[in-house]
Amino acid sequence: MTAAPTGRQYELISGRQRAVVVELGAGLREYGSGAGPLVDGYAIDESPNGARGQLLLPWPNRIADATYRFSGKEYRLPINEPKTGSAIHGITRDMPWHLHDSSASAVTLALDLPPQAGYPFPLQLTATYQLDSDGLAVTITAANTGQTPCPYGAGAHPYVRLVGGGLIDNALLHIPAGATLEADSRGIPTGTELPVEGTAFDFRTPRPIGQLTLDTAFTNLTSANAGITTIALTSPDRSRGVAVWMDSSHGYAMVYSGDTLADVPRRRHGLAIEPMTCAPDAFNSDAGLVILDPGETHSATWGIAPL
C-alpha cells in the first residue's frame, strides 16, 4: 500500500463524531458528525492544498518580504509565497510530528523544532486534539527551549462547511468582531484598524455572505462567555451549522472565502476561519506578538463544534 502523503493517520471517535489528524504538520484532515462532514478536508491520498486543516507555527499568515527584526537583529526567512515575496504560515506544516499520547477520542502529537533558517529559536511544540460531546478542541503549546527570548505566534487553517455541502454564498455568517485590519495588495496589514460598522464586513449580526470576497483579518473580538469568541456559519433556515471557537489568547481571526484557491472547483465550497494569536506580519508590527523567554510556555485553545 502506498503511504499517505501526510504520513500516519490518527482516527478519533466520540459518539457519532469522527476526526482524522495527520502526522505531517499535525494537521486536521477530516472532521464530521453523523450528519456529515463539518470541514472541507481532503482525501487520504491527497495533500492539504490551500493549507487545509494545517497548524500555522511559529507564526500565522504572512511576514512581509520574509524579513523581520528582533532584539536588534535582522532575520531573513525562506520565501514560500513568491507572488507576494512573503514567508507565510510558519515552518512546521511540512514537518513530521511524533506521537506523544493517544486514546480513542484524543491524540497529542509533538515536535522538537530545531533552529531554522531565519528562525534560529528552538521550540518544543505539542498539539492535542480532543473529541467530546461538545465537538473538537485543539490545544497548541509551545515552550522556548533555547537560551534567548524568541518571537512566537500560533494559528490554524480549518475550512468549515455546512452539512450537505454547496457554496457558502447563501450561508449566514456571524463574526463578533468590531474591526478589520486594513491591508495592502500583498495582504500585509498597514497598521490601521477599520471599524466594521457600516461596511460589507459587519457580520456582528448573522447575515448571508453573498458574493463578498473574504481574505480578511478581524480583530476587536467579543466573547459570549468565559472569554470564548465564536464565529458561526449556519444555513439560511438556521437548521444546521458549524462554529469555530477560540479562547482569549486569540486576538485575531482571518476569514477566507477561498476565491483564489488554485484548486478552482473548491472555491467558495468551504470557509476558512483561522484563529490567530497575533496579526499577520506580527513579527514586524508586534500586533499580538508573544515573546517567549527561555523556559517559558504558551498555550492556546480553539475548536470546531456542530450547531
- Summarised one tens digit per residue, pLDDT across range 266-292 is 999 999 999 999 999 999 999 999 999
Q: What tens digit of pLDDT does each residue of 123-144 get?
A: 999 999 999 999 999 999 999 9
219-251: per-residue pLDDT in tens? 999 998 889 999 999 999 999 999 999 999 999
Local confidence band at 207 (pLDDT 50, 70, 90 cut-offs): very high
- Give residue 137's identity as a one-letter amino acid code: A
CA 218, CA 179: separation in Å to the nearest integer?
Answer: 6
Q: Mind listing the domains of the chain with CATH numbers?
A: 9-306 (2.70.98.10)
The proportion of the chain whose per-residue pLDDT surpasses 70, expressed as a percent, equals 99
pLDDT of amino acid 34: 86
Average pLDDT, rounded, for the chain = 97
Q: DSSP labels for 143-171? A: EE-SSS-EEE--EEE-EE--TT---STTS
Q: What is the pLDDT of residue 2?
A: 62
**Residue 154: which of 76, 112, 101, 93 has the closest Cα?**
93
Is the per-residue pLDDT at 210 higher than 80? Answer: yes
Lowest mean pLDDT among 36-45, 162-171, 209-218: 162-171
Grid coordinates representing 21 are 489528524
Q: Give me the mean pLDDT over the 116-125 stretch.
A: 97
Q: Which residues are 17's β-sheet partners? A: 14
The three-class DSSP label of residue 266 is helix
Instruction: Find the mean pLDDT for residues 251-271.
Output: 95
**Of 29, 36, 25, 34, which Cα lies nearest the Cα of 10?**
29
Dihedral angle of Cα 284, 285, 289, 294, to the nearest 10 degrees: 40
> Mean per-residue pLDDT for 300-305?
98
* pLDDT average, residue stretch 10-33: 97
**Distance (Å, whole) CA 70 – CA 90:** 16
Q: Is the predicted pLDDT of residue 1 greater than 60, yes or no?
A: no
CA dihedral in degrees (255, 259, 263, 266; nearest 10)? 70
Three-class SS state of 66: helix
Q: How far apart are CA 57 and CA 190, in angstroms?
A: 22
- List CB contacts of 50: < 8 A, sequence separation 6 or more: 159, 258, 261, 262, 263, 266, 272
Are 82 and 90 spatial neighbours (Cβ–Cβ below 8 Å)? no
Among residues 157, 180, 138, the alpha carbon closest in space to that of 61 is found at 157
